[in-house]
Structure 1
Amino acid sequence: MKMNGQICVTAALLSISSLSFADWVKDSVQKVEQQTIQIRQHIHANPELGNMEFKTSELVQRELKSYGIEVKTGFAKTGVIGILKGSQDGPVMALRADMDALPMPEKTGLAFASQVKAIYQGKETSVMHACGHDAHTAMLLSAAKILAANKDKIKGTVIFVFQPAEEGGADIDNFTQGDQIGSRKMISDGALNHPKPEVMLGMHVMAGMPSGNIFYKDGVILNSADSVRITLNGQQVHGSTPWLGRDPIVAAAEVINNLQTLISRRVDLSKGMGAVSIGNIHGGTAGNIIPEQVTMVGSMRSNHEGIRQSMLKQLPVMVEHVALANDVTAKVELSSYAPVTDNDKTLTALMTPTWKSVVGDSKLHLLEHNASPSEDFAYYGKLMPSLFIFLGATPLNQDLAKAAPNHNPLFIVDDATLKTGVEAHVRFILDYPAVAEKVQAAWKAKN
């Protein structure tokens, strides 16, 4: 009876302790909510394109230093690394946010809507945070502030990764120089070397998902993405005498049609999906002239690395043979943006209780299928166990089905969802050390 009584008392004390802990985190998040919103709206009104996030980078550095966090720069042109050492021993953990905006006009009508114009690929364009990176940056800054103020509660070291150019660079050829921007450049520049994290969390706000809700999935959560550029060269001739020339227009039509068989006839669809799309085609100057050259640019996506590699290997061969059949020449260029974003299964399972503590059972959703976009966060997942989750961005009083999607001029992020993202960041850092040993053991066994 005495032992049972002790167990009951211990359980009650643990329950009270857990409740107090939860209250402490939520109270801290609530206190910085207005600052989070203000920073997000400021960044939204002053967006910067990839590789050009100079003012955003300065803001991040200034805020981190004001929190007492060590700041390092010199990574990927505008990237910023913050380092916070907790008062207790433990793992090195990373949290990542992207900072860049998109080359497109804003049509939201918000009081803090962007009016900014900038140079993208040599041409002036409007600029908008149409993918929520302003929210990502603001949420991570607030999480950093809370963690810095409570470093006595942190077991280990926190690396805050503020990454540029997730959407591509404004000042380079993204097709041929993709490895010189974003996460790949952060990695190659040594941003994660000193100290080296053993785990990383990424988060993305998503339209069409309700504000304050978290969506997660183990395994593949985002597709891979690779670009293709095809140049077909024939022989220019008058449209009335096609036999005197070599027609790259007809060859281009056959190439586009045949590319679809890469998926429908060439890959094992029981393993996953794939898609090949040509989004840009250019050739000719007049309706009665068969041109000398046609260029096409497209993309390939898949949720399975084997299918991805099959497409990358077989596409050039197919195009070259179609060109040969039409007596034109072909040049095929491939450019990788990102592999499959693959959530570590052990990490995902062990962190699920953390997300429940943030939003509760009713607002936590396990996805049945991966999302179709792609993310260069995937490269971090090649180095360490990683986890990428979605945060709902659409206000609860709106029809989710009618919400303007990410990358749309009408895309919005409900500011009410920001506190959920801040808390998720903080709780990940506080909770991961308890499961670190199991996660790392599973990772080593797998790799």
Structure 2
Amino acid sequence: MKLRYRLFALATACLLARSAASQEASSVTSALTRRALALADASEAQVVQWRRYIHEHAELSYQEVQTAAYIAAALAKMPGIDIQTGIAKTGIKAVLRGGKPGPVVALRADMDALPVEEHNDLPFKSTAKGEYLGKPTSIAHVCGHDTHVAMLLGAAQALSTLRAELAGAVVFLFQPAEELGPGPLLSGASAMVEAGVLDNPKVDVVMGQHIGAASPSGTIGYRRGSLMASIDIFRISLKGKGGHGAMPWLSKDPTLAAAEITLALQNIASNQTNPLDGPIVVTVGQLQAGTRFNILPETAEIAGTIRSLSKDNRKIAQESVRTKAKGIAESYSVTAETTIDSSSGYEVLVSDPAATEAVIQALEVATGPGKIKEIRPTMGSEDFGSFGRNIPVVFWILNASPFADRAGAPNHAPEFTIDEGAMRIGVRALVGSTLAYMARSGSAPKPARQP
């Protein structure tokens, strides 16, 4: 009995000591978080200034030379940050090592703009010009990437000030070419991963956010699990035998095959994939053939997208597109060549449930009570998912409608604009989530020693 009592007393003492240590760590963490959020708030005017400069000097994918130089110059003024430029052409990796051991948290912002003429009457309206697909174009930050960069700079500035007290390291990733889309060139996230930005130091989690104007300013939407869809582009080239419209039996008309393939692709989502595993959308955006009304063409082209919130359904759809194109083409005595470059497609963006759970409270502290909510997934796509191939990622939506009573214009619209006041919340979210993840990792129970 005495031995049992001693063992019980020893266990109780250990639990009390662990609880006291945990309370002390929580107190220190809370004080550090309060200071970090105060620094984030104090940076608001500077963040707005950064945003407006980048907005006015918009640049297209993999052309963000001036933007990258501006970012590097701003980072150079922040103590303790090591800067690497020229990653994936124009990307930047900046590392801030804290004064204490702990996890490595990466924070990402995308830098590129779109080939769109802005319609907003702003004093810092974009007047940038460039070339897109061989033609001159206006360029504008109508997807909000200018704000992403400015908010990440604000977070870097705040965390730099507290570097001696950070339990871990922070990697700031300024990414090019998110708007590039699937194609022969890798988009910025995949290119940065291939360049090794998640190593040296080895990153434990990557966090990011995207601004939008669909909901009241200063609120945040998050999700545990699949948040944004993958996207793959498919192209089907059909080849037959041309002829005269009056004598179709002497030709092998690829337009008939193209029409039937287009219709057949519509039953992939309804009949061949499991909706409980995640939604999928297969759409045809291009169907082209012929040059004249009375000439049966020799070739036809189909192009479209596969979007999915399920990795398994994504694979099923890819294979089904190939199978249907080949089988239907053969039934019309024409050939079909299908290309789907899944290596360049955007992956399903899965916000890791455990990592997301670790930062939910920090997001609410950033916004204020009752201003965060778990949202439904979207079939829109983001290349941020590429960072989550082998490590957890966390992604959230920062709402910034410029109107108090309604939604603003959607991302990519010429009229897209945001309430700049929401950027303060975005900086707070990045800083608070970083510290929350570090605190959770530092307070995780250690494995018991074996006797």
Q: Does the 8 Å CA contact 2:33/2:432 hold for their aligned counterparts?
A: no
Shift of 1:109: 2.3
Provide TM-score, normalisation by structure 2: 0.89
Partner of 2:230: 224
Partner of 1:203: 209
Partner of 2:171: 159
Deviations along 1:396-446, one digit per CA (max 9) or x if unpaired, are 41412xx211111111121111001111111122221121268899xxxxx
Percent identity over paired residues? 35
Q: In 2, distance between residues paired with 1:439 and 1:253?
A: 58
Q: Give the counterpart letter for 2:333 in structure 1.
A: D
| Structure 1 SS opposite 2:95 | strand
Count of aligned pairs between the two proteins: 424
- For residues 90-239 of structure 1, what are the structure 2 equivalents within 5 Å? 90-168=102-180, 175-178=183-186, 181-239=187-245
- For residues 10-409 of structure 1, what are the structure 2 equivalents within 5 Å? 21=32, 23-68=34-79, 69-168=81-180, 175-178=183-186, 181-336=187-342, 337-367=345-375, 369-400=376-407, 403-409=408-414
Segments of 5+ residues of structure 1 without an aligned counterpart are 1-9, 442-447
Shift of 1:192: 2.0
Shift of 1:54: 0.5
Q: Give the counterpart letter for 1:386 in structure 2.
A: V
| Structure 1 SS opposite 2:360 | helix
Shift of 1:123: 2.1
Q: In 2, distance between residues paired with 1:270 and 1:12?
A: 42
Q: In 1, distance between residues paired with 2:327 and 2:208?
A: 42
CA RMSD of aligned residues (A): 2.3
Q: Give the counterpart letter for 1:257 in structure 2.
A: L
Q: In 1, distance between residues paired with 2:86 and 2:339?
A: 31
Q: Does the 8 Å CA contact 1:22/1:357 hold for their aligned counterparts?
A: no
Distance 1:185 1:12, change over 3 A: closer
- Segments of 4+ moved more than 4 angstroms: 10-23, 437-441
Partner of 2:12: none
Pair member with larger Rg: 2
Q: Does the 8 Å CA contact 2:218/2:367 hold for their aligned counterparts?
A: yes
Deviations along 1:141-196, one digit per CA (max 9) or x if unpaired, are 11101111121231111100111011117xxxx52333xx3111111112222111
Q: Give the counterpart letter for 1:232 in structure 2.
A: L
Segments of 5+ residues of structure 2 without an aligned counterpart are 1-20, 447-451
Q: In 2, distance between residues paired with 1:148 and 1:84?
A: 7
Q: Does the 8 Å CA contact 2:48/2:150 hold for their aligned counterparts?
A: yes
Q: In 1, distance between residues paired with 2:372 and 2:252?
A: 58
| Structure 1 SS opposite 2:399 | strand
